[in-house]
């Protein structure tokens, strides 16, 4: 890493700490003892009745707002940390009525103006960080960041939905490509179609998921996988109906 890059990272950290970190404090333990659904963006969402989670606590990921074309889904929170996803979603995030958590380094030069938007300091310091008023680890997947946010908010049980953990891709992990044709990896065929996207890193994602599972369990909390026919094997599988029943407000 070049010296000027290190200086920029340090400058970003100071700026975030001074201007944005304190705005995250009100979310500490705001949902103590409750359960929530983290909604991924896999194509399995198209096979599920998402109207069932209207009254559930939910954390949506990345371009989940595209689901609004099919269903008026109420979301409590939205999280995104990938620079490509964020830059492609500025207008949508500004329009959301729920709090949105974005990576500060990936968002700082984009035209965000909504008071609903909050900034996280994300980086590569491996680990599970339960206090989002300090840096958190991206863990090669936005789902991992959402798990850290959920823990900070006090949620006791987390249920994953739409985290298919399977991608049709050709290339190196984390490589940036342009997607030609329809997007078969997400619930909306236009999700990345004709746009840049970063190839998934399922190996490192699983390492992060194991860290999250272990941290939750060590503190008498749990993460479950309610994804329909998902390929992820880190978490205990449960039925979608169980997630709905336990996550109602």
* 200-234 confidence digits (pLDDT tens): 999 999 999 999 999 999 999 999 999 999 999 99
Rounded distance, CA 199 to CA 167, Å? Answer: 8
pLDDT for the residue 125: 83
Rounded distance, CA 239 to CA 52, Å? Answer: 13
The whole-model pTM stands at 0.96
Neighbours of 145 (CB within 10 A): 26
Structural domain boundaries, residue 225: 3-246
Domain count for the chain = 1
Helix (H, G, I), strand (E, B) or coil at 67: helix
pLDDT, tens digit only, all 249 positions of the chain: 566 656 666 678 889 999 999 999 999 999 999 999 999 999 999 999 999 998 999 999 999 999 999 999 999 999 999 999 999 999 999 999 999 999 999 998 999 999 999 999 998 789 999 999 999 999 999 999 999 999 999 999 999 999 999 999 999 999 999 999 999 999 999 999 999 999 999 999 999 999 999 999 999 999 999 999 999 999 999 999 999 999 999
Query: Would you say 203 and 220 are in contact if contact means Cβ atoms under 8 Å apart?
Result: no
CATH number, residue 26: 3.90.1480
């Amino acid at each position: 890493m070049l010296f000027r890059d290190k200086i920029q990272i340090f400058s970003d950290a100071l700026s975030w700490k001074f201007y944005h970190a304190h705005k995250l404090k009100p979310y500490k333990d705001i949902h103590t003892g409750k359960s929530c659904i983290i909604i991924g963006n896999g194509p399995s969402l198209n096979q599920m009745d998402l109207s069932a989670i209207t009254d559930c606590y939910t954390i949506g990921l990345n371009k989940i707002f595209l689901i609004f074309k099919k269903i008026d889904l109420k979301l409590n929170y939205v999280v995104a940390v990938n620079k490509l996803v964020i830059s492609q979603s500025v207008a949508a995030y500004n329009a959301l009525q729920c709090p949105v958590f974005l990576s500060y380094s990936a968002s700082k030069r984009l035209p965000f103006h909504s008071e609903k938007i909050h900034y996280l300091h994300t980086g590569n310091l491996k680990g599970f960080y339960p206090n989002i008023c300090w840096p958190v680890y991206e863990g090669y997947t936005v789902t991992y960041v959402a798990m850290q946010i959920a823990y900070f908010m006090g949620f006791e049980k987390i249920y994953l939905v739409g985290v298919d953990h399977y991608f049709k891709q050709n290339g190196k992990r984390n490589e940036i490509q342009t997607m030609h044709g329809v997007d078969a990896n997400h619930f909306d065929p236009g999700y990345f179609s004709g746009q840049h996207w970063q190839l998934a890193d399922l190996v490192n994602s699983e390492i992060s998921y194991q860290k999250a599972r272990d941290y939750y369990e060590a503190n008498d909390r749990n993460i479950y996988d309610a994804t329909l026919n998902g390929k992820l094997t880190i978490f205990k599988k449960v039925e979608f109906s169980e997630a709905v029943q336990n996550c109602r407000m």
